[in-house]
Amino acid sequence: MTETTGAGVQGADKGQMVYEGKAKRVYEGPQPDTYVVVYKDDATAFNGEKRGTIVGKGVINNRISNILFRYLETKGIPTHYLKDLSERETLVRALTIVPVEVVVRNRVAGSMAKRLGLPEGQVLPYPVVEFYYKNDALGDPLVNEGHVTALGWASRAEVAAIQTLALRIGELLGQFFTPRGVALVDFKLEFGRDSAGGIRLADEISPDTCRFWDATSGEKLDKDRFRRDLGGVEEAYAEMLRRVEVQA
Ligand code: UDP
């Protein structure tokens, strides 16, 4: 059935909803081992305390994330991406998600600035990788590699693979964004296991999950405009889509 809403056509064949998150819904896909991800315009921050809508965000994030996932695949990164289904819907491989958010930081910002009492913007001499346990009730606490393995969330080999992939993805995204005039300050990744046991990049890469600063002016072009009530939220997301779509 084709469902047409003011938010756009959402016509892909979908089974049962298996998960509803803050910014996306996940349904069983048309083939075994597939899911359909549907991007919403809903935005939350501060562990759900702040809620709102960013008009058109779902369409923009779906586009940006799929372009980046296809780019990463061409560079040898295994991901969950299979194909675009509609402006808000993407077919992905069903993975078992490792319950850890992997943050890679090129510069000090956000929670790192706060936790360590540092000014935002300080460039790090090499990227710092952090793990956060995905648990809303606990507010996604910072954990280390020992927690991840000892608590059985991932094996040592998987953690090593995740760390290597996260750093390589950071390099590749840097190569993608530098010619587009964007400084990639930090970003969050999620990984999962496929049916063969391989680790693949999952979730999304978008202005919801990255800090993007204009390389010249430092202007924020990401979800911090929503978190910090800076205004121009929709415009920033649209500007990031424009830059991602430029042939650089
Ligand atoms: N991030 C995310 N989801 C989260 C927490 C963080 O996508 O639940 C992203 C965030 O957009 C930023 C990076 O991870 O690009 C680092 O976020 P930080 O730890 O500084 O937390 P914040 O202050 O953004 O909550």
The mean-pLDDT minimum among 8-22, 38-52, 176-190, 217-231 falls in 8-22
pLDDT of residue 12 exceeding 90:
no
Contact criterion met (CB below 8 Å) for 127 and 203:
no
Residue nearest to atom 2 of ligand 1 (CA): 209
Helix (H, G, I), strand (E, B) or coil at 31: coil
Residue with tokens 């830059």: 243
Q: State the closest ligand 1 atom to the C-alpha of 110, by its place in the atom list counted from 1.
A: 20
The mean pLDDT value for 125-134 works out to: 98
Tens of pLDDT, residues 107-129: 999 999 999 999 999 999 999 99
Residue 7, pLDDT > 80, answer no
- Give a yes or no: residue 246 inside a domain: no
- Residue 163 sits in the same domain as residue 193: yes
Hunting for tokens 């078992």 — which residue is that? 96
Confidence of residue 248 (pLDDT cuts 50, 70, 90): confident
- Are 102 and 33 within one domain? no
The SS3 call for residue 9 is strand
| Residue numbers of the domain that contains 46 | 3-94
Considering the domain architecture, whether residues 42 and 158 belong to the same structural domain is answered as no
Q: Tell how far the Cα of 125 is from the centroid of ligand 1, in angstroms.
A: 20
Which CATH number covers residue 80? 3.30.200.20
Q: In the prediction, which pLDDT does 4 show?
A: 39
Residues 132 and 120 in one domain: yes
Tell me, yes or no, whether 65 and 136 share the same domain: no
Domain boundary among 32, 66, 94: 94
Q: Say whether 178 sits in a helix, a strand or coil.
A: helix
The pLDDT, as a whole number, for residue 11 is 77
Could you tell me if 127 and 151 lie in one domain? yes
Check: CB of residue 160 under 8 Å from CB of residue 192: no
Q: Determine which residue's CA is closest to atom 24 belonging to ligand 1.
A: 110
Task: Confirm whether 240 is domain-assigned.
Answer: no
State residue 10's pLDDT score. Answer: 67
CA-wise closest residue to 224 among 68, 111, 78, 85: 111
Ligand 1 atom with minimal separation from the 140 CA = 8
Neighbours of 121 (CB within 10 A): 13
One domain, residues 103 and 85? no
CATH number at residue 207: 3.30.470.20
CA 91 to centroid of chain Cα atoms:
16
Q: How far is the CA of 209 from the centre of ligand 1 (A)?
A: 6
Which atom of ligand 1 sits closest to the CA of residue 112? 20
* Cα 220 to chain centroid, rounded: 17
Q: Is residue 23 part of a domain?
A: yes
Given the DSSP bridges, would you call strands 42-45 and 34-39 parallel, antiparallel or unpaired?
unpaired
Q: Give me Rg for the CA atoms of the chain.
A: 17
Average pLDDT on 207-232 reads 98
Q: Which atom of ligand 1 is nearest to the CA of 186?
A: 15
Q: Domain boundary at 47, 75, 94, which? A: 94
- For residue 187, which atom of ligand 1 is closest to its CA? 15
Mutating to test ligand 1, I would choose from 105, 111, 225 the residue with most ligand atoms within 8 A of its C-beta, which is 111
Ligand 1 neighbours by CB, cut-off 6 Å = 101, 103, 109-112, 140, 186-188, 209-211, 223
Q: What is the DSSP letter of 122?
A: P
Count of structural domains within the chain: 2
> Average pLDDT of 188-217?
98
